[in-house]
Amino acid sequence: MLLLPSRIARTGESRVKPVDSVPPKRGTAASTAVCYPSSDGKPMAETERHAIATINAWQALRRQFADREDVYVGVDMLLYYVEGDPRKSVVPDIFVVFGVPKLPPRDNWLAWREGKLPDFVLEVTSRRTRHRDEGPKRELYQRLGVEEYWQYDPTGDYLDPRLKGARLTGPAYRPIPATIGPGGIQCASRPLGLELHLSGNALRFFDPARAEYLPTPYEDQVRANREADRANREADRANQEADRAEAALHRVAELEAELRKAQR
């Protein structure tokens, strides 16, 4: 069973605090007593479909970069970008940061302590969160220098197509070109080295190096069950072969005993 993170917050709903055009600052002793909460007390997603899309994306990217010790994949986490002012925060649904330690687990993201802001952000959006995702959040990520900003609308409330991305070009975001593939919309993410596809209406990450989709948690479970079933069948077959071999040895021993008795 998949356990959701303990800090759950509503996707994109009124979650961008007032913004100043201030870059992350290095630590100072004066701010060490400031409290940076790890929860805003709001539910994670607007609907079950939004929650599933968020968790699927998070798990797929965590699995993709599991062997990289310098990649952090965050989900629904309070990100603070001005030291000493906890009002300056935002909660990306999914974010990926390259060049930072994967461990230890974080309760929140303090940009000045980490020394880095996200390279990739994905918001699982809806009509209800549209104005935040299209306005303040986009503007904030642009100011903070987030290389790519993506939006995915799992219910098709307002985005058409349901997936779009923007890449920082100079000081401003520019649309990431999309192509139409066999399954639908396809776009490439530079920092991830992956493609984002709409397969039907579902968001999928595609690895062009392996020419395959990153598995969802459900697909991982199905694969694990199949492998377990196959391992059990092989174990049963090995046990049966061992039993037959033991029976054959026992029969040989009986025949040898009968032969010695007949020769007396």
Alpha-carbon dihedral angle through residues 210, 213, 218, 224, given to the nearest 10 degrees: -20
Q: Tokens for 62?
A: 């965590």
**Mean pLDDT confidence for 98-124:** 97
168 three-state secondary structure: strand
pLDDT above 90 covers a percentage of the chain that reads 59
Predicted confidence band at 258 (pLDDT cuts at 50, 70, 90)?
A: confident
pLDDT per position as a tens digit, 38-52 = 987 776 677 899 999
Name the CATH architecture for the domain at 29-214.
Alpha-Beta Complex (3.90)
Tokens found for residue 235: 């174990």
The b/e string for 64-78 (b: 16+ C-beta within 10 A; e otherwise) is bbeeeeebbbbbbbb
Q: Which of 202, 201, 205, 223 is nearest to 214 (CA)?
A: 205
123 near 109, Cβ under 8 Å? no
Tokens of 136: 């303040």
**Looking at 39-48, 62-71, 162-171, 228-237, which range is the least confident one?**
228-237
Q: What is the DSSP letter of 141?
A: H
Query: How far are the Cα atoms of 19, 83, 138, 147 from residue 174, in angstroms, in the given order?
Result: 21, 29, 11, 11
Judged on CB neighbours under 10 Å (0-12, 13-18, 19+), 194 is buried
Whether 54 and 74 have beta carbons less than 8 Å apart is answered as no
Closest C-alpha to 98, from 193, 28, 178, 33: 193
CA dist 246 and 81 (Å) reads: 70
110-114, 157-161, 221-225: which range is least confident on average? 221-225
162-192 pLDDT, tens per residue? 999 999 999 999 999 999 887 788 999 999 9
Per-residue pLDDT, 56: 96
